[in-house]
Structure 1
């Protein structure tokens, strides 16, 4: 089965979007859409707007309509969508008439207000496509309203990106956030059914992080009030939003110690930092697999995927 993925991202997150697509699909998109035989739900990524499961393709709209008619496809309570490709958008009246014609060709029933499934039509590079549409359900957003948070903590959206970079296609991986704070990464990991734990050295913050877990009916013991340097358990991937001294001073040596602790705890590292740390990662024994930079307002963040040498 072939799928067409349509992307959405602000210009400042293009590098990060491409980094995630490399992790999930082993490709770097050259446009805001691409084809793949990998089946990944649209709601898994904050950057995927639609996934079209291609049922029929043709060189003209008339040929596409004929193929659908010949296939005698039946769908109950469906809604037909037009999926525009940037730079190849069809005129409004044209695509509106075309999706109505396809809807009339199909057997079954349509429901514009409470559909049970979405179907879609699109056009790109001389080809017309029809299929089932998976729409982004923003499953990550359920953790936006957690009871406890801090202004500088990672957003639920950012946490989803980092977890995707860590897991890629292997949901059997064990994950750890060694400096979890009030915790967003652990929440998202647990929300995806992953084996993930967090450590927080400050007991009052760990208490608030545990409150967040309980609020979403997760086990509170997934977060432990403990210094990461005392942890003996081994994990597949560590995810670290490295402290940078916004609330409390931290030295460069202390940041290096955190990287060394992650190197000891896990085989891979997903790192978020305010400055480039290529040399530091290399010095503690990592090979940098991928990197992206993101500018948000006056802040710049660097995201690394690194692996132990």
Structure 2
């Protein structure tokens, strides 16, 4: 049974550290409006897998069948002009489905590949087809491998020990702006630009501010270092006059920009004023403060780094 052509289905596989479980699921919910306890999710939503620090593969499903012979019959109908290869994605346990070992994966890839009418190229194919076995069903389709572009952002000219890690910053940007089209975003306490860099690298229209001149200068230099273009303004959030679709507030707590409870509440009140949706990053439980600022917390998670915990709160 093949999928109806007008109903696209995508399968995403995930890999993450155990400490990243909650953050990964919150990013899932942002992208797909639901999450999965397993290390894969099936959705009708198309996301570039390279956006997420956790997604490993994306399969755009063309056929799904209960046995491999039916898949072989269906792929014979494919007529492609590009060179191609087939990869089996069961190189790890997928949910309750155990890993298929390499010799068997190679055999499956060869058998399916030989059924496709076209020119195979195992080294530099123009199109890659994927095959995955999950819970007794085979899925075949167009495969896209995630590329960890964000890894090059790990080493910046200017770095602070208390800044978000690159992986967390990228996930936070995705939670704030899952679909970047026509969205304006701001990080009004941007520090050295960790979140801004991840957002800009994904095509998210985000600008930044900070009250510290040297921090703003460092942020601009970090952005330029990676060949990105972004606006960083010196000044407090209270001076922001424009309105944004979303703001990211990583509440200041380092030696350069430590803020009192009153100052944090002031930041949150202004965030309510300038943005429809706000993602707050905090090391303290501030639910009452957030509610007093006029927000409703619609989703949340804990981002762990060994014993250091941050709360990620989606506020609307």
The 10-residue stretch of structure 1 (44-53 or 77-86) with the greater mean CA deviation from structure 2: 77-86
Q: Secondary structure at the match of 2:296?
A: strand
Structure 2: runs of 5+ lacking an equivalent: 1-7
CA distance, structure 1, for counterparts of residue 311 and residue 81 of structure 2: 45
Give the structure 2 partner of residue 81 of structure 1. Answer: 87
| Deviates further, 73-82 or 171-180 | 73-82
1:105 and 2:115 equivalent? yes
- How far apart are residue 175 of structure 1 and its match? 0.6
Match of 2:184 in 1: 174
Q: Evaluate the alpha carbon distance shift between residue 72 and residue 172 of structure 1 in structure 2; reply closer, same or farther with a 3 A threshold.
A: closer
Question: For the residues of structure 2 that align with 1:92 and 1:193, how far apart are their CA atoms?
Answer: 37
Q: Please point out which of 4, 7, 16 is paired with 2:14.
A: 7
Alignment correspondent of 1:255? 264
2:208 to 198, 202, 208: 198
Q: Does residue 18 in structure 1 map to residue 31 in structure 2?
A: no
2-side partners of 1:86 and 1:298: how far apart?
28
Q: 1:151 to 1:228 in 2, by over 3 A?
A: same
Which segment is superposed worse, 239-248 or 96-105?
Answer: 239-248
Unaligned runs of 5+ in 1: none
Please, which moves more after superposition, 21-30 or 107-116? 107-116
- Is structure 2 residue 144 aligned with structure 1 residue 138? no
Instruction: Answer with 289-298 or 93-102: which moved more.
Output: 93-102
Given candidates 47, 52, 58, the residue that maps to 2:54 is 47
The alpha-carbon deviation at position 270 of structure 1 amounts to 0.6
- Matched-pair contact (CA < 8 Å) for 1:182–1:209: yes
Matched residues in 2 for 1:194 and 1:72: separation? 36
Q: Does the CA contact (< 8 Å) of 1:75 and 1:106 recur in 2?
A: no
The whole-number CA distance in structure 2 between the counterparts of 1:218 and 1:97 is 44
Match of 2:171 in 1: 161
Deviation at 1:157, TM superposition (A): 2.1
CA drift of 1:91 comes to 4.0
Deviation at 1:170?
Answer: 4.6
- Could you say if the C-alpha distance between residues 99 and 199 of structure 1 is closer, same or farther in structure 2, counting changes exceeding 3 Å? same
Determine whether 1:296 maps to 2:302.
no
TM normalised by structure 2 equals 0.90
Aligned mates of 2:78, 2:314 — CA distance in 1: 47
Greater mean alpha carbon deviation, residues 10-19 or residues 110-119: 110-119
Q: Size of the alignment, in residue pairs?
A: 305
Residues 60, 127 of structure 1: 8 Å contact kept: yes
Q: Which residue of 2 aligns with 1:209?
A: 219
Distance 1:170 1:233, change over 3 A: same
Conserved? CA contact 2:13–2:41, under 8 Å: yes
**Residues in 2 aligned to 1:297 and 1:304: alpha-carbon distance in whole angstroms:** 20
* 1:268 matched to 2:277: yes
1:32 to 35, 39, 42: 39
Q: Offset at 1:75?
A: 5.9
Q: CA shift at 1:28, angstroms?
A: 1.7
Counterparts of 2:107 and 2:117, CA distance in 1 = 18
CA RMSD of aligned residues (A): 1.9
CA distance in 2, matches of 1:284, 1:200: 21
CA distance in 2, matches of 1:284, 1:100: 60
Indicate if the aligned counterparts of 1:182 and 1:208 stay in contact, CA closer than 8 A: yes
